[in-house]
Amino acid sequence: MASSSSSGLTFKLHPLVIVNISDHYTRVKSQLSLPPSLTSTSSAATSNNNNNNSNGGENNQNPPPRVYGCVIGVQRGRTVEIFNSFELIYDPSTRSLDRSFLEKKQELYKKVFPHFYVLGWYSTGSDAQESDMHFHKALMDINESPLYVLLNPAINPAQKDLPVTIYESELHVIDGVPQLIFVRSSYLIETVEAERISVDHVAHLKPSGGSAATQLAAQLTGIHSAIKMLNSRIRVLHQYLVGMQKGDIPCESSVLRQVSSLLRRLPAIESEKFQDDFLMEYNDTLLITYLAMFTNCSSTMNELVDKFNTTYDRHSRRGGRTAFI
Amino acid sequence: MNLVEGLLTQIQGLSSTASDVLSLQNVLKQADESLHAESTRLLPFLDQLDPSKHSLGYLYFLEACTAGPVTTESASSFVLVIARFISSCVAEQIRLAPDKFISVCKRFKDQVLLLEEPLRGVAPMLTAVRKLQSSTEHLTTLHPEFLLLCLLAKCYKTGLSILEEDIFEVDQPRDLYLYCYYGGMICIGQKCFRKALELLHNVVTAPMSTINAIAVEAYKKYILVSLIHHGQLSTSLPKYASGVAQRNLKSLCLSYIELANSYNNGKIADLETYVQANMEKFGSDNNLGLVKQVVSSIYKRNIQRLTQTYLTLSLQDIANTVQLNSPKEAEMHVLQMIQDGEIYATINQKDGMVRFLEDPELYKTCEMIEHIDLSIQRLMTLSKKLTVMDELISCDPLYLGKAGRERQRFDFDDFDSVPQRFNI
């Protein structure tokens, strides 16, 4: 299904489309995993909710839902620029597309963006499927050669590229039967200034994985791993020497000489003044950490106390917000 | 009697595995009424049961036996029996019927007090506490009983060992009030005023819906200990104290607040006249000893104030400022304070000059590192617990209802995440 396209068109994808698709998918997925008993009125809310959330987690074992929508943009010459997208209701089992909704949306978008027209459609999943061809053909009456933008929602931390692929359709002759198949095309990401700001915002909201966020942390991690390795190597040497002393390992003077010269190089500084200064600096760092933790803990405690007072104190001071003039 | 013997055989048979014990518990619950009916004749049957193996059955029998009124003769025999039971019973079986265990131990305490030998009850009660609590962070109803026995028997050190633990779970609020109040008194007895202040502070600021006598008494002692330890009393209670306490406590402890005011003025003569005037009031609250300590602490407070003004001072001047009788007394006071670590100074005996020094701690030692590290660890665990509690209370519908209701919307731009009405 995925060979490279030969149409020679250049595709430019705006990040708004990617954000829209991922938002659509996330919304649908989280709405699906909402446990049904949250709609009932239960008074012992929190513990029940905690239990139900664990049940809701099991619902995610079902295959994740696929979402569908249209992408719109401009085609100028050989460049196709995809600016925006909107959602559609499509049921793959019955292959029913809500035509009236699609037309209404097209009209609305035409009023605001007169130059844009429907360029194709999008969906989520790991790979293009046979059933997608039906939707593709259904859209062919709006656009003769629609595009298919596929977003892979599975999070793969090792992957460097965006999990977005754009497919075009081409008529190929397979086994003597002319068939429309999907072919992959390459694309570029194009941004406007406003989009750059929003992408930056989104990037900072996302929780960064395990990698160190700042340079300082990276450097300290490097030093830490280096020291850990040094420690483990010295431990190996120590075991070796102990074994040699016990007589399990035959004595080798050359190795012993090397070990002794290494050991003499190890302690870099060992003086009274160094100890003093080192301990003082260590203590200072610890005190700062302690202060930070203290502040953090006090602020949590403060919020907790406020909430507690709001909940349980019958005649608490009116805590409404003051006028904002 | 047949019923009792039948029960005995069942207990002996069904006490080996956990599931058997559960079924035994159901049997015993149903037979409880009839056991109580036969309470006077149950004592000889206890010999047929082994407390270390048949703890649950023994407990039910014991509870029924001791249900009647306590007399001095029966008290001495029961005390032995209960003490032996507490030391040999199995904790898992006991925790299946905690209220029975608590009532047995309470009666044990009453009997020990009736015999006027509280010391006999201290060790068994400590074992009982340890067996009943599910973790060291759990406060049971037996904790304050144990502390009461320690107070009456004057063995404060054993009480202190229990007080070292941090409490995170409480069964009943009354347990917490009593526990902290008695704990405060034990710490005062051991002169650990810092910990006493902490415990009494807990009673005074604990959530309470109506004012209770324990809090009032605790507040009186709190004022006195605060004067001894800190030399001042903060006039308002912190904002996490319940509204009830904030409004009512001060009016109920007026004479103590007056005492604190006259203490702040620093004039010893005024303080002493005030104390003399209100002697019976303080005496009726059993606080005379503390009040006397407050009076003697005012000298210390005045000397400490001097360290903030002077670098060196002669003993004669100290005696004059602090209204002591002679430089010799001043020297004694200063020496005592240096020994207790309350001030840093050197006394030059040749010319009778005292030189006040700075805190010599340089924060360079390994012990200090360990100390800070431990504190950081404790803070981290506390912080985690607090975050969990914060999240729980944020989801509490009671809180959300009140938070949503109290808001006032002013214009449409004031977007708020809490809706006005919250229907779940």
Residues B1 and B62 in one domain: yes
Q: Which residue has the higher pLDDT, B47 or A152?
A: A152
Q: Tell me: pLDDT of B421 over 80.
A: no
Residue B247 lies in a domain: yes
Same domain, B177 and B303: yes
Q: Where in the sequence is the domain holding B56, given as residue range(s)?
A: 1-151
Say whether A287 and B363 touch across the interface (CB within 8 A).
Answer: yes
Interchain CB contact of A273 with B (< 8 Å):
no
Chain A residues lying within 8 Å of B399, measured CB to CB? 307, 310-311
Name every chain A residue with its beta carbon within 8 A of the beta carbon of B389: 304
Residues of A in contact with B239 (CB under 8 A): 305, 309
What is the SS3 assignment for B140?
coil
Verify that B182 and B238 share a domain, yes or no: yes
CB contact under 8 Å between A309 and B240, yes or no, is yes
Q: Is the pLDDT of residue B145 over 60?
A: yes
pLDDT in tens, B353-395: 888 888 877 777 888 889 899 999 999 999 999 999 898 888 8
Contact assignment for A286 to B364 by CB distance below 8 Å: no
The whole-angstrom separation of Cα B215 and Cα B129 is 24
pLDDT of residue A39: 43
Residue B93 lies in a domain: yes
How confident is residue B331, by pLDDT bands cut at 50, 70 and 90? confident
- Of the partner residues B242, B364, B396, the one whose CB lies closest to the CB of residue A276: B364
Residue of B nearest to A317 (CA): B243
A210: pLDDT strictly greater than 50? no
Compare all CA atoms of chain B with the CA of A39 and give the residue at the minimum distance: B424
pLDDT per residue as tens digits for the range A262-317: 888 877 777 788 888 888 888 998 999 999 999 999 999 998 888 888 887 766 55
A46-55, A82-91, B338-347: lowest mean pLDDT where?
A46-55
Q: Tell me, yes or no, whether B86 and B196 share the same domain.
A: no
Q: Calculate what percentage of chain A has a pLDDT beyond 70.
A: 80
Helices B288-309 and B213-230, interaxial angle, to 10°? 30
pLDDT score for A35: 57
A310: chain B residues, CB-CB within 8 Å: 399, 402-403, 406
Does residue B372 belong to the interface with chain A, where contact is any CB pair within 8 Å? yes
Q: What's residue B396's pLDDT?
A: 81
Q: Which residues of B touch A49 (CB under 8 A)?
A: 395
Is the pLDDT confidence value at A214 over 80? no
Same domain, B26 and B53: yes
Residue A12's H or E segment, with its range, is: strand A10-13
Q: What is the pLDDT of residues B51-87, one digit of tens each?
A: 777 788 788 888 887 877 777 777 788 888 888 888 8
Cβ of B243 within 8 Å of Cβ of A320? The answer is no
pLDDT at B288: 85
In sequence order, what DSSP letters do the residues of A40-106 get, joined into one string? Answer: S--SSHHHHHHHHHHHHHHHTTSPPPP-EEEEEEEEETTEEEEEEEEEE-EETTTTEE-HHHHHHHH
Name the residue among B243, B386, B424 with its Cβ closest to that of A300: B386
A17-68 tens-digit pLDDT: 888 898 898 888 888 876 554 444 433 344 444 444 433 333 445 677 788 8
- What tens digit of pLDDT does each residue of B87-105 get? 888 888 888 888 888 888 8
Other CB atoms within 10 Å distance of the CB of residue A112 = 8
Nearest by CB to A324, from B368, B402, B414: name it. Answer: B414
**Which CATH number covers residue B370?**
1.10.10
Q: Is A44 on the interface with B (CB under 8 A)?
A: no
**Most confident among A55-69, A106-120, B324-338 (mean pLDDT):** A106-120
Q: Are residues B65 and B36 in the same domain?
A: yes
Check B364 against A312: CB less than 8 A apart: no
Per-residue confidence (pLDDT) for residue B177, from 0 to 100:
92
- Residue B9 sits in the same domain as residue B143: yes
Average pLDDT over residues B177-192: 91
Mean pLDDT of B172-194: 90
Same domain, yes or no: B276 and B302: yes
C-alpha B223/C-alpha B254 separation (Å) is 11
Tens digit of each residue's pLDDT (9 = 90 or more) over A132-184: 888 888 888 888 888 888 888 887 777 778 888 888 888 888 888 888 888 88
Same domain for B301 and B324?
A: no
Q: Are residue B268 and residue B202 in the same domain, yes or no?
A: yes
Does the pLDDT of residue A322 top 80, yes or no? no
pLDDT of residue B197: 92
On whether any CB of chain A is under 8 Å from the CB of B33, the answer is no
**Would residue B422 count as lying in a domain?**
no
What CA–CA distance (Å, rounded) separates A99 from A107? 12
Half-sphere exposure of B120 (CA within 13 A, CB side): 20
Fold of A10-31+64-189: Cytidine Deaminase; domain 2 (3.40.140)
Domain C-terminal end among B244, B279, B309: B309
Which candidate from A49, A279, A305 shows the least CB-CB separation from B369?
A279
Are residues A290 and B424, on separate chains, in Cβ contact within 8 Å?
Answer: no
What is the domain count for chain B?
3
In a domain, B417, yes or no: no
Q: Is residue B404 part of a domain?
A: no
